[in-house]
Amino acid sequence: MTQVSEANETTGRAGTVEMTDTAVLPAAVVDGPAPATLEARAVSAWFGSHQVLSQVSLTMPAGEVTALIGPSGCGKSTFLRTLNRMHELIPSAQFGGEVLFEGEDIYDPSWRLTDARRRIGMVFQKPNPFPAMSIYDNVVAGLKLTGTKVNRREKDVLVEESLTRAGLWKEVRDRLRQPGGALSGGQQQRLCIARALAVRPRVLLMDEPCSALDPTSTRRVEETIQDLAGQVTIVIVTHNMQQAARVSQQCAFFLAEQGTPGGIVEHGATEAVFNSPQDQRTADYVAGRFG
Ligand SMILES: Nc1ncnc2c1ncn2[C@@H]1O[C@H](COP(=O)(O)OP(=O)(O)OP(=O)(O)O)[C@@H](O)[C@H]1O
């Protein structure tokens, strides 16, 4: 038994509880499990007979933010969805290749879908909290979906931890029982980040997480991404070049030329991709000359 701190969901004050875990969890933990390296090897994807990705290989280093950029329709979101097996939920979808999580292929039969979802979380373009559900229940909602069992006290710890990591705790600590739908759009997106973090993923996928937000909320979510870097591996799809430059250390430029499936033209350190691209198409895209 280990002593851990507990946040009272009504008052927001920290207390102390016991937990059958060897880890000591201080209140407002800003420490999740170690971030994991994700490696896509020769990933191809189809919708019916339409191939949208061909032989995409990319390493997304542990604890870094990797941005996926490129014009609309080149397969960025599809690629992102192959990284935690969301792609296979679409009836016509097919997949080829490997996605290695710390060297283990998440498509291996030994991996269950829930294993992939628990370790590799996802945040979507449009904030999608359960609007009538309380802020507290929204945060813990993912636990059930991924089959993670925790007792009431552990839940309290996780709620404070996740909201803290998502940069929302101070704003909502006194109203955890209010509905998630009553928050602003930016707060709702950070609530969704907290919900994703509550299952303690080692990788977080984000599909244009700021595209539905105003500039102030966007800045706040970007700060959250920057705070999370190092704690969790992040892969973010963004159309916003400035955002990619601000938040990512690695960057991959996707392109689907003239009806061909999408692929990566160039990838590497964000600074290099933006400031000294090796391929003329990358140079044109980052300079805003197309897309
Ligand atoms: N559910 C689906 N069923 C059939 N085709 C799809 C589906 N989702 C995406 N596609 C097709 O796959 C291709 C890649 O789409 P995807 O959304 O991955 O691109 P993207 O680069 O993320 O685009 P955007 O930046 O506009 O979001 C497009 O041709 C798209 O029409």
- ipTM score: 0.97
Q: How far apart are CA 57 and CA 70, in angstroms?
A: 16
Distance 276 CA to ligand 1 centre (A): 29
The pLDDT tens digits of the residues spanning 139-181 come to 999 888 777 788 999 999 999 999 999 999 999 999 999 999 9
Closest by alpha carbon to 116, among 99, 136, 133, 131?
Answer: 99
From the CB of residue 104, how many other CB atoms can be counted at a distance below 10 Å? 15
**What pLDDT is attached to residue 14?**
32
Q: Rounded distance, CA 85 to CA 143, Å? A: 18
Structure tokens of 236? 């973010």
Q: What is the rounded distance in angstroms from the CA atom of residue 67 to the CA atom of residue 116?
A: 21
In 212-272 the beta strands, taken as DSSP E runs, fall at 233-237, 250-255, 263-269
Q: What is the pTM assigned to this prediction?
A: 0.88
Per-residue pLDDT band at 291 (split at 50, 70, 90): confident
- pLDDT of 1: 31
Atom of ligand 1 nearest to the CA of 92: 3
Lining ligand 1 with CB less than 6 A are 47, 52, 70, 72-78, 90
Give all strands of the β-sheet with 38-47 in edge-to-edge order: 50-60, 38-47, 93-101, 104-105
d(CA 221, CA 106): 28
Q: Which amino acid is at 154?
A: E
Instruction: Compute the distance from residue 141 Cα to the ligand 1 centre, in Å.
Output: 28
Structure tokens at 231: 């704690």
